[in-house]
Amino acid sequence: MKTDILIIDDNPKNIQLAANVLKSTNLYNIFFATSAQKGIDQLKKREFSLILLDINMPIMNGYEAAKIIKNDPNTSKIPILFLSANADQESINKGFEYGGADYITKPFQEVELTHRVKTHVELYISHKKLQGEVDESRILLEQYKQAMDAGLIVSKTDTKGIITYANDKFCDISQYSRQELIGHSHSIIRHPNTPSHLFKELWETVKQKQTWHGSLENRAKDGSSY
């Protein structure tokens, strides 16, 4: 499946030259804009995997355009490859300072252009895919947490038995607010009927980072058992 690339250059001949080289790879759909503002407008309408950006343009130059693109959350991750006749080191450094992922000087070598574009496009697509998987995992984790909160009482403590977390279900059943629980000893809910040796066994098991199995009688804030 072809991916979309945007070329921004005020010189149509430069656009055509770069477009012909990239089209020959049969990997990309090429779009173009003859001014920085037109390019920024296109970025609002379509998602691109890479931007080829000229520097010397009237009204708004490439550096200014790059700054706008990088400051927009919707386009900040798109790699910008500066394609310019400015071959001095100061211009090249400035390109990277303004968020450029790469810098190629004109006249360019066809092999260099195709290889660099391919590398940055593949990196962008891979990163985007990975980010999607991370976002999906985060959603699944949140859904799992919500299911846990709805059906199970969950609390966390440090090694000294001080409560550091309590879910909504824990608060509902114990009748304590989260503020009343966090920072206090877990013994706040310990029922007098719970044998001390059983309670000690539980904490020794937890301290060793093992799973304790058993049943306990706890006491809610109003004195009732659960």
Q: What is the domain partition of the chain in residue ranges?
A: 3-138, 152-207
pLDDT category of residue 148 using cuts at 50, 70 and 90: low
> Looking at the predicted structure, is the pLDDT value of residue 209 above 80?
no
Task: Determine the residue type at 151.
Answer: G
pLDDT category of residue 147 using cuts at 50, 70 and 90: low
- Dist CA 30 CA 61 (whole Å): 21
Residue that is written with structure tokens 């984790």 in the block:
141
Q: For the segment 66-105, what is each residue's pLDDT rounded down to a tens digit?
A: 999 999 999 999 999 999 999 999 999 999 999 999 999 9
Output phi, psi for 102, to 5 deg. -160, 170
* pLDDT score at 24: 96
Q: Other C-beta atoms within 10 Å of 157: how many?
A: 17
* Range with lowest mean pLDDT among 119-128, 172-181, 205-214: 205-214
* Range with lowest mean pLDDT among 49-53, 141-145, 172-176, 178-182: 141-145
- Dist CA 19 CA 40 (whole Å): 19
Q: For the segment 12-45, what is each residue's pLDDT rounded down to a tens digit?
A: 999 999 999 999 999 999 999 999 999 999 999 9
> Looking at the predicted structure, is the pLDDT value of residue 144 above 80?
no
| Helix 12-23 × helix 110-151 angle, to 10° | 70
Superfamily (CATH H level) for 3-138: Response regulator (3.40.50.2300)
- Dist CA 58 CA 37 (whole Å): 10
Q: For the segment 40-67, what is each residue's pLDDT rounded down to a tens digit?
A: 999 999 999 999 999 999 999 999 999 9
Domain 152-207 belongs in CATH node 3.30.450.20: yes
**119-123 LR contacts (CB < 8 Å, sep 24+):** 120/50, 120/79, 120/81, 121/3, 121/5, 121/27, 121/28, 121/49, 121/50, 121/79, 123/79
Task: Determine the residue type at 110.
Answer: E
The number of CA neighbours under 13 Å toward the Cβ of 157 is: 16
